[in-house]
Amino acid sequence: MAIVLLLFLFALVRSNAEEAFYVRKHLSTTSRYEVVKDITDNSFVPSNIPDQCTPIHLNLLARHGTRAPTKRRIKEMDDLAKRIEVLLQDAKEKESDLQKVPAWLWGWKSPSKGRFKGGELIREGEEELYHLAIRIRDKFPQLFNEDYHPDVYPIKATQIPRASASAVAFGMGLFSGRGNLGPGHNRAFAVSSESRASDIFLRFHDCCQRYKDFRKSQEPTVRKLEEPILDEITNALVQRYGLNFTRQDMSSLWFLCKEEASLLNITDQACALFTPSEVLLLEWADDVEMFILKGYGNALNYRMGVPLLEDVVQAMEQAIKAKEEERAPGSYENARLRFAHAETLVPFSCLIGLFLEGSEFEKIQKEQPLELPPKPLQRRNWRGSTVAPFAGNNMLVLYSCPTESSSKYFVQVLHNEHPVPMPGCGNSDFCPFEVFKERIVAPHLKHDYNTLCDLKIEEPERMSLTSKLWQMFQWLFPQRSNDTQSTKQEL
C-alpha cells in the first residue's frame, strides 16, 4: 500500500511539474514580448535612485515586434506539410501503430499555406511597440512632456519594413492624444532611415564584409554542435510516434512549435510533440547559435557595433551640454529612439556587458574567448527569450543628480524595461557617467569600424605567407571581383 501511495505521489508531482512548464517562455528569440518581458533575475536588487535625480535624456534601441514567418520559412512549412503526408502514408502501408500518431497531424496544413510573401509586422507586433511607448512615456513624463519635433524626439529605423513599421507603431503610442488626427487625436511624426548599403549604426552586420565571411565560416561549427541534440530528439520522436522522422523533419517541427506558440497561441500541437526536457535542449541550441553568430562567441560580433555605441554616448554628452548651458526646453533632444533587429540588439547588449557570468566581463575586456552557455538544467544568463525577444529593448537613461555627490550625471540601464546589472560598473544598474565611459565604452573605442570590417586592411606582421603570396598573385594577375549575393538573414 505504501509503495502504491508513493508511486501515486510521484506521478502527481511529475504531472504538476509538466503542467507548470510553459513552453512560450522557452522559444529563444521567437518569444513574444509580453510573455517574457517580466522574466528577471530575482537575486538582483535595483538601485534606489534619489528623488533629487531627474532624467534628462533617453536612448532606446528596440527590436521589431512579432512578425510573420519569412518567405523561406513559409516554403519550409509547405514542404513539411507534404512530408507529413508522405510519413503518414508510409506508416499506413507498413501497418504501423497509428494510435501513436497525434490526431492533429492528419490533414494538417501550414498556417501560411497560400502565402507568397512574409516577414511583415503582424497585429500583435504593432501592439507590442504601441504599448511599450505608452509605458515609457508614463515612466518618464519629464522627458516626454514637450511638443513633438523631430529634433527633440528623433525616431530612426532600418529600411526593413518590419522595423520601420515598429517605429510607426511606437510613435503612435508615444504621441497618442497629442495631435488632431482622427478620434484618437494622433499626430504625424517622422521616421528616418539610412540606406541599407551604408547603415553602420543599425545594420552594421550588413555592411561588414569581415563579419559576413566569419558568419559563413562558423555556420558549419554551429550545425556540428546542434547535430547530437537534433539526432537524439529525432530518434525519440520516431520511437514515440512511430513515424520515420528525419533530422530536417524534427527541425521543421521545432520551428512550427515556435510559430504556433508565438504567433497563434497554440501549444497543444507541434509543441506537444516534445517533452519539456527536449524543449529546453532545443532552446539551448538556438541560444548557442545566437551566442556564436551574434553575441559573445566572437568579439567581432559586437565590436562592429561601435558606431552605434559612439552615437549613444554622443547623444548623452549633448544632453549634458544642454543641461549645463541651461538651454530652454524644446531646444534640445530629449530622447533618441531606434528600431532595428536582433542582429542589432544582441551586439549592443554585449557592447555594454549585459548577461555575463562571474568574471566574464574581465575576459571580454582582455579580448579573451568565453565558454559556451551551460546546458540545461544549469542556470544561465544567456537566453534568447530575454536577450532579444520580439520587441526586446535596451534603454539607457541619463540622470542629472545633486552636486553633493561625487558624480553629477548617471546612466541607468534597463533591458526589457527592467533595471539590469552592469559588470563594468560593479554590477550596478546606476553608473556614474564618467565611469560608464571609462570602464564600459572606452575599451571598445580603440576599434575602428572600417579597420574591423574591411578585408583589405590587415596588420603586416600578422599576415601569413599564404596571404602575402595571394596578394602578389592578385597584383600580377588582376581579375574583376565577382560580387556574390549573400543569403538573406532572418532578422
Residue-by-residue DSSP string for 308-363:
HHHHHHHHHHHHHHHHHTTPPTTSS--EEEEEE-HHHHHHHHHHTT-S--TTHHHH
**From CA 135, how far away is CA 417, in angstroms rounded?**
9
| pLDDT tens by residue, 382-397 | 999 999 999 999 999 9
pLDDT at 3: 54
Count of CA atoms in the C-beta half-sphere (13 A) of 369: 6
pLDDT at 63: 98
3-state secondary structure 170-228: HHHHHCCCCCCECCCCECCCCCECCCCCCCCCCCHHHHCHHHHHHHHHHHHHHHHHHHH
Cell, residue 181:
488626427
List the one residue out of 216, 384, 393, 390 whose CA is nearest residue 288: 384
Q: How far is CA 462 from the centre of its chain?
A: 34
Query: For the stretch 261-270, what's the b/e string if a residue is b when 16 or more beta carbons lie within 10 angstroms of its beta carbon?
Result: bbbeebeebb
**Residues lower than pLDDT 70 in the chain:** 1-19, 404-405, 455-491
pLDDT at 74: 96
Sign of CA dihedral 68, 32, 167, 383: negative
pTM: 0.88
Query: Hey, what's the torsion of the CAs at 140, 144, 145, 147, to 10 degrees?
Result: 180
**From CA 215, how far away is CA 218, in angstroms rounded?**
5
Name the packing angle between helices 276-293 and 209-241 (round to 10°): 170
**From CA 381, how far away is CA 368, in angstroms rounded?**
19
Count of CA atoms in the C-beta half-sphere (13 A) of 446: 8
Please answer whether residues 171 and 133 qualify as being in contact, where contact means their C-beta atoms are separated by less than 8 angstroms: yes
168: enclosing H helix or E strand: helix 161-174
Question: In one letter, which amino acid is 53?
Answer: C
